[in-house]
């Protein structure tokens, strides 16, 4: 198993926190328990709490939770306060904010595939 170290820009972390806050607010409005959300989203109660607290998670987890709350991740993300302020990153900024991945085992080999047309042409 590979160890991965991820770093995100402050803008990304702020967006993640805001999405978590919006999902948490929706949960409070609906007065839905964490156990019910867990059952309907397929996420653990601890994962839901982490998202509500602004921790990073995978996109499928955010979307599963949003759908369990009767909305979608697209709708939630569309209401972000800073969404209108987004601008493309320069290549220098991308390099500075790239995800750093350190792998304990990092050797992969890709072998060319053979199609049926190539095997018949001999």
Judge whether 93 lies within some domain.
yes
pLDDT digits (tens, 9 = 90+) for 67-76: 999 999 999 9
The structure tokens 């921790």 sit at: 55
User: pTM of the entire structure?
Assistant: 0.65
For the chain, how many structural domains are there in total? 1
Judge whether 90 lies within some domain.
yes
CATH code at 61?
1.10.260.40
Judge whether 122 lies within some domain.
no
pLDDT digits (tens, 9 = 90+) for 15-65: 999 999 999 999 999 999 999 999 999 999 999 999 999 999 999 999 999
Q: Which domain holds residue 40?
A: 1-115
């Amino acid at each position: 198993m590979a160890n991965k170290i991820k770093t995100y820009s402050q803008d990304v972390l702020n967006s993640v926190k805001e999405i978590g806050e919006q999902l948490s607010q929706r949960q409070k409005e609906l007065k839905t328990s964490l156990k019910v959300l867990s059952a309907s989203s397929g996420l653990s109660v601890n994962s839901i709490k982490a998202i509500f607290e602004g921790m990073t998670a995978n996109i499928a987890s955010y979307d599963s939770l949003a759908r369990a709350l009767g909305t979608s991740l697209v709708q939630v993300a569309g209401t972000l306060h800073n969404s209108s302020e987004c601008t493309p990153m320069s290549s220098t900024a991308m390099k500075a904010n790239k995800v750093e991945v350190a792998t304990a085992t990092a050797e992969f080999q890709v072998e060319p595939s053979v199609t049926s047309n190539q095997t018949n042409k001999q």
